[in-house]
Structures are given as C-alpha cells and as structure tokens.
Amino acid sequence: MTALDTNARIAVIGAGAMGAGIALVAAQAGHSVLLLDNRPGAAAQAIEGIDRQLGKRVENGKLSAESRSATVARLQAVQDIEALDDCALIIEAIVENLEVKRALFRQLENICDERCILASNTSSLSITSIAAQLRHPQRLLGLHFFNPAPVMALVEIVSGLASDPGLAECLYDTANAWGKKPVHTRSTPGFIVNRVARPFYAESLRLLQESVAECATLDALMREAGGFAMGAFELTDLIGHDVNYAVTCSVFDAYYGDTRFLPSLIQKELVEAGRLGRKSGQGFYCYAEGAQRPQPTSLGSERTVTSCVIEGDLGIANGLILRLHEQGVEVIKRDGSGLLRVGDAVLALSDGRMACQRAKEEGLRNLVLLDLAGDYAKATRLAISCAADIEPAALADGVALLQRAGFTVSRLSDSPALAVLRTVAMLANEGADVLLQGVASAADIDLAMRAGVNYPQGPLAWADSIGLAHILKVLEHLHASYGEERYRPSLLLRRRVAEGRTLHDPS
Ligand code: NAI
C-alpha cells in the first residue's frame, strides 16, 4: 500500500501541544486538515498559534509568505465531530486516558466511513486495548509522534494485536511522505523509545545515588565522552521530572515490576518536592536568575610522560593510541592482553568489574580503568576509576598520559562499568530484548533511538562496534556485582555471542 494521497483529508482530535504539531505536519505535507478539541475555541487558538509560529519563520527567512498562508489555509478548526465523516485518517491526541480514548473511537466508528484509518498518538496506552471494543479493531493503529512534532523526525507506527498490517504500511509510507522517519513496532509498553531509553536515565540516577560522581560530572561525561546531546540530569530537568518519572513508573508497572525499569527514589523525591526541573526553576540544577551551574570535577596531573607501553590491542580504545602518537608520545608495542602501561600505572578498558576486584583477580598493581568513549579519537573527556589503594604517583602518571592525549579526566569512585560503558551496555541490553521479543527490527530500534532521542549511535550498532562479547562480559560483571535481575544479560546477546554474530545480522 502506498502513502495517503495529499487529496485525502486528515483530522486531528486534541489541539494541545501534540495535536497542533501533528496538524501542522500534515498541513505542510499538503493535506487539508480538520482540527477538533472539546474545549471551545481551543482548535481555533491552536491554528492562530501555528500561524504566529510560521510568521516567525517567515521573518527569519526560513519560510516563504506564500507557504505560510497556503499551510494555514489548509487548517480548519471544527467544533462538531460529525464534520469528520469524510476523513481518510483521524489522529487522536487527546488526554492520556484509556476510557476517554476508547469512547472517542467508538463514537468515530459511528461517524466515519469504514475505510477511514483511526490512529492514536498515545505514548503509554496499549493500542490493542484502545481498539478492543471497536467493531473494526483492525483499522486502529498507533501513530506516535515525538515532541515537538514538527521538529522531531521519528514516528513510531504501532500495531496492536488486531491492527491490519496493510494499514501499518500505509501509515509508514504516509509518515515518510510527510518528511518523517517512521519505524514499525508492536504495541508493548513503552513501544521502542520510551522502553529502550529507560537505562539512560536509570544508570545515571543510580550512579548519583551511590555517590559515584556529582550530576555535573556525569552529565559532562555523557556529552563529552559518550557523544550524547545532553546528560541524564540536564535532560530530565528539561523534560520535567513529573513527566519522566511518570513514564518510568508506567513502564515499570506495565512490565509487572521488572527491576530493569525500577524508578529512582532520588527522582521521586524531586517530584515530591515540586522540583520539576526547568519549568519550576529547580530540578537537579537551579534555574533561578544568576544561579551558577556547578562544574564537572576533573583530575589534573603535573607529571610529564613521554612514553608508554601498549600490550596487545586496546580494541575500540585504539583511537587513544593514535592521539598519543599525534602528541609525540613514544608508544612501545608488546604482546599482551590489552593493557597500557605508563610509569607504575596500568591502564585498561573496563570490562565491568570494579578496579579493586580486577586488580586483585589479575594481580595488577595500580590499575586505572578507562570508561567507554563514543569515539576515542574525538572525545574530550574520559572517566577513570581505580582502587582506593592506588599509589598517588602511579595515578598521576596515568592521568598525565590521558591529558597528553587531550582528554580532560574525571575520576569516578570505584563502581562497576563506570558511567558511559554501563549506560551503553544497558541500552544495548534493552534493545536486544526488544529485538528478541519481535517488537521491532534491529534497524528500526537503532533508527528510533537516533531520530527519537538523538542518540549519537543506535544502541545495537554501538554494541556491535564495541564487540558483543565485551558488552556481554560487562553485563555479566554488573549482574554479579549487584546480584540484581536488573543487570541480567538478554538471551539474544548470549546467543549472538555464542553464534559469533552481531545484533544486526539477520535472525
Ligand atoms: P495536551 O494536554 O497539551 O492536549 C490535549 C488536548 O486534548 C487539550 O487541548 C484538550 O482540551 C483536548 N481534549 C481532551 N479530551 C478531549 C476529548 N475527549 N475530545 C477532544 N479533545 C479533547 O496534551 P498533549 O501533550 O498534546 O498530549 C496529547 C496526547 O499525545 C496524549 O495521549 C499524550 O500521551 C500523547 N503524547 C504526548 C507527548 C508529549 O511530549 N506531550 C509526546 C507524545 C505523545
């Protein structure tokens, strides 16, 4: 099936933040769009708002005056639901309440042609459940846009148990024609993005709770080492803790309390205190006028290093060696198991064990563990951890070497898998379960995380490039250290490692 023709009339019900944005997307794509809201005047106000918004783009030279007026002319506010009788697609973006949505779709079934596709923008309710009481449940699907809809490229096309696969293809093609990046997903709690993204918040919150580092340091690591646009604390301050905590709780409950999704007491406390983030002026950070943003902690070293020894291969961290070469550091190569020696220090990429544990198990004195960087050739900051009994001079040598390579170094307290590595391993683990359970394809999972939440890499491709055996080892060590189900590795990871295949290999 192909995309809906631009002659097809679209309706959007609910003229709030999402509904207005979706109506604009459809109108810009050339459709005539009816906008309806049960609050009198709300739909007309939303269209006025869109007109003002487009007016600013005209002023900035980003849109022609003709496009603005043509787009606005395609939008029409309606008061009466009967006016939607000749629409080809009706997208609902009303209050997030199952019974209210069900009642609306039942009412629509009595008004619309049988060929009309019904879509819900719900982010947390089951499409199967919303459709269950309809006469034609096969024509109801999820069409999940991200906020703000005109800006965010991702649209999750969500199929419930009864949804017609042909209609899912039609919505997919239509979203494509609207300039979006659609992905297919089955209706399971959180769909793709709101499920796979949970560890991004959860692991930083846990590190904070365990006093591994302060918010500003962890946020800086996610940006400057991980390559994420924002760290978890600045991002949840932006999203609003009430919203982010509610999503986490809803996913946790929907999976019958699976501790993978355990909400954080720290975030709960912020919500209880009314510290909702930017919108309330205080979250993890203070947004009052003149408030100073705390700086990440960094560890400096005055020592001078001119050479180091690399034993074996650092694998994904080899970009570090290139940087040392560029800085004129002599790098002596020997056989070995992926260790970097400088002075009395031994540097190694974390495998998920704490430094104290690995130092003891492998008989390595003065071990400095390195965190993951999204790109070791480009990252500007890197986290390290070491056992409490490391000799200060050895630590200073290790830090000096990393500084020579151009990294700002942040020392974390000795915790399994540091910060970026544990986060990426857990994102990949959740993505692997989504794939294992047939909720979405590997390509769609990665696309969803890049286009929906701007991750620098899709978590599955990221894990493939790190090496699945390494990711599995990291998760097994996290699992063993905490003894918690939360860190259990996905069966699919184990299987693919045993088969010697990647997550992107066809199943
Ligand atoms: P909102 O509160 O800004 O807007 C909802 C609008 O629906 C209001 O104007 C309200 O008057 C209207 N409404 C409520 N019940 C109605 C009914 N029975 N008939 C007609 N109009 C009705 O909410 P928002 O944020 O736009 O969310 C709408 C939907 O989109 C929800 O299902 C939400 O879960 C989902 N969503 C929200 C996202 C967000 O970031 N805000 C992101 C993706 C999905």
- Mean pLDDT of all residues in 154-181: 98
| pLDDT tens, position by position, 420-453 | 999 999 999 999 999 999 999 999 999 999 999 9
Provide, rounded to the nearest whole percent, the portion of the chain with pLDDT above 70: 100
Q: Is 194 a catalytic residue?
A: yes
41 CB contacts (<8 Å, ≥6 apart)?
A: none
What does the pLDDT read at residue 507?
76
Minimum CA distance residue for ligand 1 atom 16? 94
How far, in Å, is the centroid of ligand 1 from the Cα of 72?
21
String of DSSP letters for 155-200 = EEEEE-TT--HHHHHHHHHHHHHTT-EEEEEES-TTTTHHHHTHHH
| pLDDT tens, position by position, 454-472 | 999 999 999 999 999 999 9
What does the pLDDT read at residue 224?
98
**Scanning the structure block, which residue is given the tokens 């170094």?**
409
- The reported pTM is 0.96
Rounded to whole angstroms, how far apart are CA atoms 385 and 398? 11
pLDDT band with cut points at 50, 70 and 90 for residue 506: confident
Catalytic residue among 120, 121, 123, 244: 123
Q: Is 123 a catalytic residue?
A: yes
3-state SS track over 347-394: EEECCCCCHHHHHHHHCCCCEEEECCCCCCCCCCEEEEEECCCCCHHH
Rounded to whole angstroms, how far apart are CA atoms 44 and 165? 35
E strands, 335-489, where?
A: 339-342, 345-349, 367-370, 381-386, 408-411
What does the pLDDT read at residue 32?
98
Token output for 446: 């990665």
Rounded to whole angstroms, how far apart are CA atoms 70 and 52? 14
What does the pLDDT read at residue 441?
98
Catalytic residue among 156, 214, 224, 234: 156
- Mean pLDDT of all residues in 10-16: 97
Radius of gyration of the chain (CA): 26
H or E element in which residue 44 lies = helix 42-59
Output the average pLDDT for the chain: 97
Nearest-atom number in ligand 1 for the CA of 15 is 9
| pLDDT tens, position by position, 20-74 | 999 999 999 999 999 999 999 999 999 999 999 999 999 999 999 999 999 999 9
What does the pLDDT read at residue 127?
98
Backbone angles phi and psi of 208, in degrees to 5: -65, -45
What does the pLDDT read at residue 1?
61
